[in-house]
Chain A
Amino acid sequence: MTGIRKRVTIGFLSIVVLLFFSGLVSLFELNHMSQDIDSILSSNRKSITLSENMLDAIRANDRAVIHYAVLRDTTYADSCRVRSEAFIAKIADARQETSSAAAPFFDSLDMYAQRLASLVEELRSSHRVEQSYMAEEFFALAPAFNGSEWYNTEYLPAYNVASGQILQVLTYAQSSLSPRAERLSRNAYRAVTPVFISLVVMIVILLMFYYFIRIYALNPIVEMNKNLGDWMRYRLPFSIKAECRDELAELRDKIESVTTNTKISPK
């Protein structure tokens, strides 16, 4: 057993430790939660950016194809190839940045991109655009190759399928985030559970502290005060029950020795 001062100090220290502990836990848990939210947001942003990049690349490819095949601007021949490659590279970048669960979507997208590239490459290697351009420009002949028709019947369907697949990838990435967000919203109270438990423990300790202080410090003092008053007034003998061995017990012993040693003088 320890003295009153020490016990009260330990009591308060325990409460301080618990407060500190609850604070620390809440900081830790809130930090954890904010990291989770950050990760969901950054995944969300990333998936949008990657899809945007792929859509930009396919549109750039499309523009080059229109210039080359429809408008018969032969200077775009190389540009078509470069942009097709750029589109495929963007798909590869996006695949790297996305989880392996999305691999089937990227496999399909890769296939459609390859189909687009091979269509353009076929057109380029056949030199039909250049030949029809030469025939019309220099010999005033009707063009043997109709670029608009080729674009509408062959290229555009493949383009639509590929861009649709990009949207599928984006939708998948976004939908895979929603269970995480849902879990977070449903289990948000989990984050505060440790703090709540610490607070409950603190309340229990505070109640115990109050109870112990009352029965081991306050009650003996009140009793001693009352009995000492009675003794001074009526010289009533008294004894105080105290189980502890601390300053209060010493005080009780001293009071008892004073009262026993004092001669009872007749009034």
Chain B
Amino acid sequence: MRYSVVIRYIGMVLLVLAAFMLASAGISYLSGVDSAYTPLVMSSLLTLLMGCFPLIFVPRTDRISQKEAYCIVVGAWVVASIVGMFPYLMWGGEFTPINAWFESVSGFTTTGASILNDIEALPRGLLFWRMSTSWIGGIGVVMFALVILPSIGKSKMMLSHFELSSLAKDNFNLYRTPTVVRIILSVYIGLTIVSTLILKMCGMNWFDSLCHAMSACGTCGFSTKNLSIGWFNSPLIEMVLVVIMAIAGIHFGLIFATLTRKKNNIFRSEITRTYFSVIAVSSLLIGISIWAADVYPSLWSSLRSALFHTVSLITTTGFATADCNTWTSFAILILIFCSIVCACAGSTSGGLKMDRLWLAIKMLRNRLRSQQHPNAIIRTKVDGIPQDKEMLNGVMVYIVAYMLLILAGAFINTMLGADIMTGFSSSIACVSNVGPGFGEVGTMDNYSFMPAVMKFNLTALMLFGRLEIFGLIQLFFIRWWR
């Protein structure tokens, strides 16, 4: 493996981060040179230097091996999270080294879990950097570099192959890799711009609307307010965000196909239909459950809150308007289910993905059928297309690995002193990149009270979840490096 090539590509990702740090410094400057200005400028310069250095020495290489591409993607996520700490650490406040690491990883992996007790105390520049990490992370740190930096050339295919979820490539079969990457970014930027404008029209100020649009499109859930979306107390803003989050949870290729009136659009996709059905049924059940338990005074307000939190958790965004810990156990259980399954592959959301759940259900059904008709050849199909056996096998392996990871995370959390609900739900919230969980890490709480070791454990879970487990696990096999 050519480590120099890996370093060169990671350097390119650092250049993108340096640009965003500089943009945040610009916001800081426009806000009257707030206290984040110097930390952001200094961080930007250091990141720029680190990013440029390998470009001077390592010659451009068009061909990269699978192993190298894999290392670039994993390395880029880890290095981005480390470099993302710089502005937080230099600014100070609540950001101790472990807190800065937690906030940075949480941003890049779009988990949206926070250690901040007082978000509103942060200067605008730093708030914007926080949102930038989630926005970059939403699309994937490497994917960003793929489009912005033209010199990557032919390596695009290999890198995008590793950055995208294994299931996400299905709807891009017709396009070449550079086109796929461009489609994803166009949809992402377009959705962010439209969301910003709509949120502004709903009464947010420009800064808040941009930040919340970035956060919703990246399905991160970072907010500029301590009470998250609850601060705005506006049904209109909540409904707009529900739509934005729900769209951000759909495969971007399908959104593009729908906008360009292609055949394989949102309405024809089985997965998307399942995704919306799960949202509708879950919201209805939760709404009725909390209305019956007198949590809310009317059915309408129960349904409104249920819909908002269902979409927020299923898309792994994590925005909140109420404390879900006060809801019924049945409602909490449905929300935990949503936090595990999450939205569609090819979107910015994390988690198990609706595609895998759908395939698993179909495989179970086929298994029953094949027991009834032992000689029948039964293929698992999605949208009428038979699925490859190896891929189906991979889906089942992934589901098992995913559940084991959640269990392992919960074991460690409870071992470190968390109660069963907090330990289990924080493990799910971090592996699925949702952010808020239940118990002590509820929708209106944060992770600041946790000991440093537990915070570190949760950040590892976030990275595992974002890189779809196997992405990160290989790094622990020394033989693989040779």
B481 located at the interface, meaning its Cβ lies under 8 Å from any Cβ of chain A in the complex: no
Segment of A14-22, A35-43, A141-149 engaged in the interface with chain B? A14-22
Instruction: Check: A7 CB closer than 8 A to any chain B CB.
Output: yes
A-chain residues with CB within 8 Å of residue B17 when the two chains form the complex: none
Is B7's CB under 8 angstroms from A190's CB?
A: no
Distance in Å: Cβ of A262 to nearest Cβ of chain B: 30
Q: Identify the stretch in A80-88, A191-199, A251-259 within 8 Å (CB) of chain B at 4 or more residues.
A: A191-199
With contact pairs A21-B45, A194-B90, A208-B7 given, residues A201 and B56 touching in the complex (Cβ less than 8 Å): no
Q: What is the size category of the interface that chain B forms with chain A?
A: 20 to 34
Residue A152 at the chain B interface, CB threshold 8 Å:
no
Interface centre among B50, B57, B61 (most CB of A within 10 A): B57
State whether the Cβ of B122 lies closer than 8 Å to any Cβ in chain A: no
Interface majority SS (helix, strand, loop, mixed), chain B: helix
Given A194-B90, A197-B89, A243-B59, A212 and B49 touching (CB < 8 A)?
A: no
A187–B4 Cα distance when bound, in Å, is 39
Number of interface residues of A (CB under 8 A): 28
Q: A25-B42, A211-B4 are in contact. Are A197 and B90 (CB under 8 A)?
A: yes
Q: Report which B residues bind A (CB closer than 8 A).
A: 3-4, 7, 39, 42-43, 45-46, 49-50, 53-54, 56-61, 86, 89-90, 92
State the Cβ distance, A196 to closest chain B Cβ, in Å.
Answer: 9
12 A-B pairs within 8 Å (CB atoms) are namely A11-B56, A11-B57, A21-B45, A193-B92, A194-B39, A197-B43, A197-B89, A201-B49, A208-B53, A208-B54, A212-B54, A216-B58
B51 to chain A, nearest CB (A): 11
A205 within 8 A of B: yes
Decide: A7 and B56 in contact? CB cutoff 8 A.
yes
Give the distance in Å from the alpha carbon of A152 to the alpha carbon of B429 in the complex. Answer: 74
Distance A243 CA – B59 CA, assembled complex (angstroms):
7
Majority DSSP secondary structure for residues of A touching B: helix
Of B42, B49, B60, B61, which one neighbours A17 at CB under 8 angstroms?
A: B49
Q: How far, in whole Å, are A73 and B354 apart by their CA atoms in the complex?
A: 100
CB distance from B236 to the nearest CB of A (A): 41
Contact B59 A244 (CB under 8 A): yes
Additional A-B contacts beyond A187-B92, A209-B53 (16; CB < 8 A): A1-B59, A2-B56, A7-B56, A10-B56, A11-B57, A18-B49, A193-B92, A194-B39, A197-B46, A197-B89, A205-B49, A215-B4, A216-B57, A243-B59, A243-B61, A244-B59
B331 to chain A, nearest CB (A): 43
- B42 & A212 in contact (Cβ 8 Å cutoff): no
| Residue A134 CB within 8 A of the other chain | no
Q: How far is the CA of A14 from the CA of B54 in the complex (A)?
A: 12
CA distance A244 to B4 in the complex (A): 12
Residues of A within 8 A of B4 (CB): 211-212, 215-216
Looking at the complex, which one of B46, B57, B61, B89 makes contact with A201 (CB distance below 8 Å)?
A: B46
Q: Which 6 A-B pairs have the closest CB atoms?
A: A212-B57, A190-B92, A201-B46, A194-B90, A243-B59, A244-B59
User: Any chain B CB within 8 A of the CB of A127?
Assistant: no
User: Would you give the shortest CB distance from B291 to chain A, in whole angstroms?
Assistant: 48
The distance in angstroms between the C-alpha atoms of A197 and B3, with both chains bound, is 24
CA distance A150 to B46 in the complex (A): 76
Contact partner of A14 (CB less than 8 A), chosen from B53, B86, B89, is B53
Query: Are A205 and B90 CB-contacts (below 8 A) given A1-B59, A212-B4, A215-B4?
Result: no
Residues A193 and B90 in contact, CB atoms below 8 Å apart: yes
- A49–B124 Cα distance when bound, in Å, is 40
* A193:B89 contact, CB within 8 angstroms: yes
Contact A14–B49 (Cβ < 8 Å): yes
Given contacts A194-B42, A197-B90, contact A205 B50 (CB under 8 A): yes
Q: Closest approach, in angstroms, between the C-beta of B41 and any C-beta of chain A?
A: 11
Kindly list chain B residues whose C-beta atoms are within 8 Å of the C-beta of A198.
42, 46
Max count, chain B CB within 10 A of own CB: residue among A10, A17, A197, A244: A197
Q: What's the Cα separation between A212 and B59 when bound, in Å?
A: 11
User: What is the distance, in angstroms, from A193's C-beta to the closest C-beta of chain B?
Assistant: 5
Contacts of A10 in B (CB 8 A): 56
CA distance A21 to B39 in the complex (A): 13
Across-interface contacts of B58 in A (CB, < 8 A): 212, 216
A211 near B3: Cβ-Cβ < 8 Å: yes
Chain B contacts of A208 at CB under 8 A?
7, 53-54, 57
Question: Contact at B50–A204, with CB atoms within 8 Å?
Answer: yes
Bound CA–CA A193/B99 (angstroms)? 14
Nearest to B60 among chain A residues (CB) is: A1
Which residues in A have their C-beta under 8 angstroms from that of B3?
211
- For A193, the chain B residues whose CB sits under 8 A away are 89-90, 92
